[in-house]
Amino acid sequence: MRSITGYEFIELFESHVPTWLAEEGDPVGLHLGDLSRPVHRILVTLDVRPEVVQEAIEKQVDFIFSHHPPIYRPLKNLDVSDKQTKMYVDLLKHDISVYAAHTNLDNANNGMNDWLSEALGLLDVEIMDVTKRVPVKKISVCVPNAECNRVRLAMTEAGAGNISDEYSHCSYEAQGVGRFTPLEGAKPAIGHINEPEAVQEKKIEMIVEDKYLADVLEALYESHPYEEPIYEIYTINNFQREYGLGRVGNLALPMTLRSFIQYVKDVFQIEGMRFLAADLDQTISRVAICGGDAGKYYRKAIKKGADVYITGDVYYHTAHDMQADGLTVIDPGHHIEQICKPKLLGLFNEWKKENEWDLEVIASEINTDPFIFDSQL
């Protein structure tokens, strides 16, 4: 087991969920603390509230990983008579760093909105509103047959060959003959000076995102037996990596809205919620969901043919607009995003095992939902 710093942990996280996925103006990243410090115990939470900070202090946590940014708006002062402000001082006093992954986690593939749609059992899921498209390139390189597996593995481990979140290490190979004549001054891995050579080679082709290209080229050069590997890189125009807000998918079996409302309550373990509906007996087959406060995107759900749109914190006037447009809406509240706690806990523990980190990851036990429903009284 080896110790790690906050920098090392966040570097790995941001390789999966980069900050550029966040919506403009969203204050993601480090909020308090020092990433150069060693990290021994991480607390995963949906919100950073005074009660959560106290929990972190009692559990001797040195790093809080939160979905919601604790400093969403700039502070005007550090008046510690205010409990919200005092918690920042408490965090600094106890050397607890705080990092937030908000809309970048929402927009990430296999992130918040995928977790929510997965919980509902949606099928044929697609992005509700594609907001970012990342072009990819194709890289091809010729390798002697005997070294093909080594070079291919090195390139894929560096980031090449990922077609989607469901398929990695993807490549294509074509057999051929490489011909060359080493001249004076060359140091050929195969062949002799001034003698023509023909080598059975395979041409390996893979796709790679720009952000991994430098690492893939480094891996290629380190693993390839030739002094000067022959490779090509070109942009693919008909394939892009897509990211965006919300998800839309289909239920395995249609159900009435009345039944679906109860289903949503059961899935997210909530006592009550608001909804807009003209007919409780309408059939629900296609569902759009976007965690958090995403009422303003409701027309994207309509465009995708959703029978119902699920999102939190729907505003009064936005609800009137939704109603006028004939959309059925369920508002289960913002707190259903607490699904991130077990998901992140599982992910971070996988990384801990894979990298042999001397690290403990725990989920906050504090319920940060500010609302109480009358059914709980």
Helix (H) or strand (E) holding 204: strand 197-209
Residue 25 DSSP SS3: coil
Chain centroid to Cα 332, Å, comes to 23
In single-letter form, the type of residue at position 194 comes to N
Cα–Cα distances (Å) from 281 to 57, 76, 257, in that order, read 50, 51, 6
Q: Which two tokens stand for residue 300?
A: 């994207």
Chain centroid to Cα 72, Å, comes to 20
Residues within the annotated binding site? 67-68, 106, 334, 337
Q: Which two tokens stand for residue 288?
A: 């759009």
Residues within the annotated binding site for a divalent metal cation? 67-68, 106, 334, 337
Pairing mode, strands 197-209 and 123-144 = antiparallel
Cα–Cα distances (Å) from 123 to 34, 53, 165, 224, 309, in that order, read 42, 38, 16, 42, 16
Rg (CA), the chain: 26
Report which of 330, 255, 269, 240 is spatially closest to residue 294, judged by C-alpha positions: 330
Positive or negative: CA dihedral 268, 270, 274, 278? positive
Q: Which two tokens stand for residue 74?
A: 């700039």
Alpha helices in the chain (DSSP H): 6-16, 50-58, 83-93, 103-107, 112-119, 148-157, 210-223, 257-268, 298-303, 316-324, 340-355
